[in-house]
Chains A and B, each alone.
Chain A
Amino acid sequence: MTTLRIVIVDDHAMFRTGVRAEIDGPVDVVAEAEDVDSAVAAITAAKPDVVLLDVHMPGGGGLEVIRRLHVRHPETKFLALSVSDAAEDVIGIIRAGARGYVTKNISGPELLDAIDRVAAGDAVFSPRLAGFVLDAFAGTIEIAQVDEDLDRLTEREREVMRLIARGYAYKEVAKELFISIKTVETHVSSVLRKLQLSSRHELTRWANDRRLI
């Protein structure tokens, strides 16, 4: 397996240095960038597998970076990092196309694991993100109701989200629900897709209330 190529985008040099020290080796940090313009240039030049993307930074934030790159470089995966924990911006960046969200106080090994998972095309949901997602989709499903509407979370997806919000790792979710880890990953990816595509009224309203769209 080839080493994953990473670009770190964050406006705080100290944080970039810290992350680089923690993850360089197992993965290959090929470039760093400190604002939207330099990030777009660096990512276009380096073509990394995964971009660690700060939510807030000069030039419009991580959202702007994804907006500018996602169409031209759909193969680049984004993992959002932030200290802010503001639902508005976290859901906003996920809807724009990031494949996961972790907080900046995440440990080195956990971050590496998240990078691996994002690179493999899976989604990385922290308990907090799962909570935001459940909130965004809250009330859209009646108990035991089978729904064809693609935008809604299925009962199973909701269950998976709730377990993640309760602090369960994917492995523990799989054990709890008697399904394979792969199935858990499928559910999470499908939630991510719905979050990105959904135009359902409730989600639109939720987003509207928070000025996301």
Chain B
Amino acid sequence: MTPTPASTYRRAYRPADHRLVGGVATGVAEHFNVPVLWVRLAFIIGTWFQGIGVIAYLLLWRLLPLQRPQLSPGLESATRRGLRTGSRTGPAEIAQTIALAAVGIGVLLLIQSTGRGINDNVLGPLLVGVVGIAVVWRQYDDAAWGRWMRETRGFGFASRIAAGAGLVAVAGIYFVTKEGGWGAAVNLASALVVAILGLGLILGPWIFRLVGDLAQERRERVRSQERADVAAHLHDSVLQTLALLQKNAGDAAAVATLARRQERELRAWLYGNDEQPGDSLVAALRAAAAEVEDVHHVPVEVIAVGDAALDPDVTALARASREAMINAAKHAQVDRIDVYAESDGRTAEVFVRDRGVGFDLEAIADDRMGVRGSIVDRVERHGGTATIRSSPGAGTEVAMTMPIRRGESASPATTPPTPAPSTSIEGATS
């Protein structure tokens, strides 16, 4: 997943995978964080006033860049191979939009009939033009039009030349027959437009190709870099692990650990976002879990809801959680540890749980420095609370709560500090 470049303003775009016509309404709705219905209504109401709505829509269609969804590599490949069903515009939304459009056109005609609407002479050509442009741009979006425009031989080329030449000829005839009188200026302008259109059709491919080649070159470069990244990744992780597995073939525990570590890495790479241990609470917990898995050979499952930035308090919470995981791995004699973290922007909570042998808190609370010092005291020093529930044979759960200090470092659960739009849960190790 490519990280989005840090910019001070958000750019609006048209979502490629979630649109009815051009994706303008959806894009605008996402940008301003309002229901898409309102945006569609605004465009329709705007159309009642001299067609401003339609013109605005078309302009935005042209100006807003198309954005394809950024998926993790694993999902991207699954999508490409048709292994998953992507998003689909629901029939309800289509029906709703058609109904809206029908009402909009109805009202527009009503306004027309009062004689105060758009001038009839303008309305007809406007409608035809709008529909024509919409069709053309829709095709352009789908790249078929672009391909047709780029052809420099064959049927597409011939038909384009013919269309272009025809338009130029029409312009010429128009100009010659209509010469003279008041209308001459208007006619000249019309003729020029038609002629330019014709020339554009003929010269289009070379211009397109020039621009296209540059873009193509850039894409190729990015693609080959990505290929190199994949190769490097496979070499560093999978190949090394396979070699190690062959060496340790006799040692079942080592094989299981190696396989598990490889799975975790691959999963993070395929479905995760590139987070570093220093980024956030969840990233730190995941790093700690990976470490415990490697050293103590116990699977640690981290589930997280929301995330928090690593200020000193939250860092203490993360360290205490790591101690709790290590304790569980060392003493509980279990084959699985569950870690659950939840942050809602006000408090961060972490639960570390095992179903292991447990211990009697009263009996060892004083001499067991590990539990007291590194977990309870550490959390309490930073203003949090930590409780340990355990009894022999019933497992242990360490529950820690830490208030998140309001300030520039506080980050609400809805906006995790990682730049990727995906939540922290994705790419969790399991």
Contacts and interface: CB of A to CB of B under 8 A. Distances in A.
A75 to B, nearest CB: 23
A184 interface: no
Contact of A131 (B336, B344, B414, B425): B425
B422 A210 contact: yes
Nearest to B355: A167
Dominant secondary structure at the B interface: loop
A138 B414 contact: yes
B306 A128 contact: no
A30 B270 CA distance: 34
B306 A127 contact: no
Given A85-B428, A89-B75, A212-B87, 15 more contacts: A55-B84, A60-B82, A84-B75, A84-B270, A86-B74, A88-B75, A88-B426, A132-B425, A135-B425, A138-B306, A208-B30, A210-B422, A211-B87, A213-B87, A213-B90
Contact of B340 (A86, A132, A162, A209): A162
Interface stretch (A15-23, A61-69, A147-155, A189-197): A61-69
Nearest to B267: A85
A166 B84 contact: no
B344 A211 contact: no
Contact of B305 (A56, A103, A134, A208): A134
Contacts of A89: 75, 84
A151 to B, nearest CB: 16
Nearest to B412: A139
Interface in A118-146: 127-128, 130-132, 134-135, 138-139
Contact of A135 (B87, B90, B306): B306
A61 B84 CA distance: 4
A126 to B, nearest CB: 9
Interface in A3-42: 11
B271 A86 contact: yes
B81 A58 contact: yes
Interface in B245-299: 267, 270-271
Contacts of A130: 303
A165 interface: yes
A57 interface: yes
- Range for the number of chain A residues in contact with chain B: 35 or more
A213 B18 CA distance: 8
Nearest to B336: A167
A59 interface: yes
A168 B351 CA distance: 11
Contacts of A162: 340, 342
Contact of B74 (A57, A84, A105, A127): A84
Interface in A82-129: 84-89, 92, 103, 105, 127-128
A103 B303 contact: no
B17 interface: yes
Contact of B425 (A11, A87, A168, A213): A87
Contacts of A166: 303, 338, 340, 351, 353, 397
Contacts of B304: 131
Contacts of B87: 211-213
B338 A167 contact: yes
A168 B303 CA distance: 13
Contact of A209 (B90, B342, B355, B421): B421
A131 B85 CA distance: 23
Contacts of A165: 303, 305, 340
A88 B306 CA distance: 16
A56 B78 contact: yes
Interface of B: 17-18, 30, 35, 69, 72, 74-75, 78, 81-87, 90, 267, 270-271, 301, 303-306, 336, 338, 340, 342, 344, 351, 353, 355, 397, 413-414, 421-423, 425-428, 430
Interface of A: 11, 55-61, 63-64, 67, 84-89, 92, 103, 105, 127-128, 130-132, 134-135, 138-139, 162, 165-168, 201, 208-213
A211 B74 contact: no
A64 B85 contact: yes
B401 to A, nearest CB: 13
A128 B75 CA distance: 18
A84 B355 CA distance: 26
A53 B197 CA distance: 55
Nearest to B397: A166
Given A59-B82, A63-B84, A128-B428, A87 B305 contact: no
A195 to B, nearest CB: 15
Contacts of A201: 35
Nearest to A96: B85
21 contacts: A56-B78, A58-B82, A58-B83, A59-B82, A60-B83, A63-B84, A89-B84, A128-B301, A128-B430, A131-B304, A131-B425, A131-B428, A135-B423, A138-B305, A138-B344, A138-B413, A165-B340, A166-B303, A166-B353, A211-B17, A211-B86
Contacts of B83: 11, 56-58, 60-61
Given A135-B305, A213-B90, A87 B85 contact: no
Contacts of B301: 127-128, 167
A208 B414 CA distance: 14
Given A58-B83, A64-B85, A85 B430 contact: yes
B413 A84 contact: no
A187 B425 CA distance: 23
A177 B428 CA distance: 28
Contacts of A212: 87
A213 B351 CA distance: 33
A69 B87 CA distance: 18
Contact of B72 (A67, A86, A138): A86
A138 B414 CA distance: 8
A167 B305 contact: no
